[in-house]
Amino acid sequence: MPAHSKQASSRRAGGKAPFLHWMVLPTLLVLLAIIGYPVVSTVYLSFFEYNLLDFTPPEYLGLDNFAQMASDRIFWISLKNTLYYTGGTVLVSMLIGTAVALLLENLKGPVWTAVRALVVSPWAVPFVVVAFLFRFMYMQNGGIVNDILLDLGVIGNPVSWLNRADISLGAIIVANIWATTPFFFLLVSSALSGIPDAVLESARVDRAGLWSTIFHIKLPFLRNPLVVGSLLMVISNFNDFAKVWVMTQGGPGYATTTLVVYVYRMAFERFEIGYASALGLIWLLLLLLVSVFYIRLLWNRQND
C-alpha cells in the first residue's frame, strides 16, 4: 500500500475512534498553562498601573498605558531599532548563507569539508559568548578589529564601535550576522541536496547556464525552506536579548535599545509590570502579524 493511502486509512481510523482526539488533551492543557496563562496575564496587566515595589492593589487604567506608549519616544526608537536589527540580520545573513551554500555545493574533498565545518562553527557558539567575543573585539583600546583596520590603513584612529551612537547598532548587527549566517547555510545546503537529480539533469540537457540554473531551478526549490527559516530567524532576532544587553545594554543613549531591552528595563529594573505588559502585548501582536504574513506566503505557495 502506498504511503499516502496508509496515512489516509489511519486518519479514517482516528475518525472512527474519537477517544484518540482526547489523547492531545494533556498536551493542550500543558500548552495552556505555560503559554496561554502568561499571554492572558500579560493582556490583563497591560490595562493596569502595576509596580512590583508597590504592594497596594493594581489600579485599572483602561488604555492609558497604550496612550503613553504612543507618545513615548523611547518606545518608537526601540521599535525602529528592533526592525533594523531583525531586518538587517535576517536579510544579510540569508543572502550570505545562501551564496556560500551555492558556492560550496559542488566542491568535494577534505579541504572543502573543513571549510564547511568552519562556516558552520559560529552556530555552535552560545549567543552570550558571541556577544562577549565581539564586545572585546570591538574595544577602542586593544580591540582586534581596530588593530586590523589600523594595520590595513582603513582607519586612522581607533574607533569606539559600540560607543558611537551612529555605528553601534550596525556593529551589533554585524556580530549577529556572523552568528546567524550558518543557520541559513545549513538550511540551504540541505535544501539543495534535496533537489532531484533528474531536474538538474534536464536543465543540463537543455543547456541552461549557471545563473539560469540558479534562478530558475534552484531558487524555486529553496523558496519554502527560506520562508520558514527566515520566519524562525525573524522571531528569534525580534526576541534577542543577550547580544544587545551584553554588548551595549541598549546604549549609548538609546542607540541600540530594542523592544526586548526596553521591556526588560521596564519590568525588571523599574518593576513597572503594567507598562511592560503593554509593551509586551504590542510586541506579541507585531510578531503575530509577521507570522501570519509568512504563513500566508507558504499557504499561497502550496495552493499554487
Would you tell me which residues interact with another protein (CB under 8 A)? 51-55, 73-74, 140-141, 160, 162-166, 168, 248-255, 265, 268-271
CB of 35 to another protein, least distance (A): 21
Closer to another protein by Cβ: residue 42 or 93: 42
Cβ 122 to another protein shortest distance, Å: 24
Say if residues 161 and 214 touch (Cβ distance below 8 Å).
no
- In the complex, what is the shortest distance from the CB of residue 46 to another protein, in angstroms, rounded to a whole number? 18
Lookup: cell for 109: 574533498
Instruction: Considering the complex, state which of residue 15 and residue 38 has its C-beta at the smaller distance from another protein.
Output: 38
Minimum distance of another protein from residue 75's CB (angstroms): 12
Q: Which is nearer to another protein, 168 or 230 (CB)?
A: 168
Q: How far is the CB of 58 from another protein (least distance, A)?
A: 12
Q: Which residues contact 104 (CB under 8 A, 6 or more apart)?
A: 112, 115, 116, 119, 189
Cα–Cα distance, 205 to 210 (Å, whole number): 13
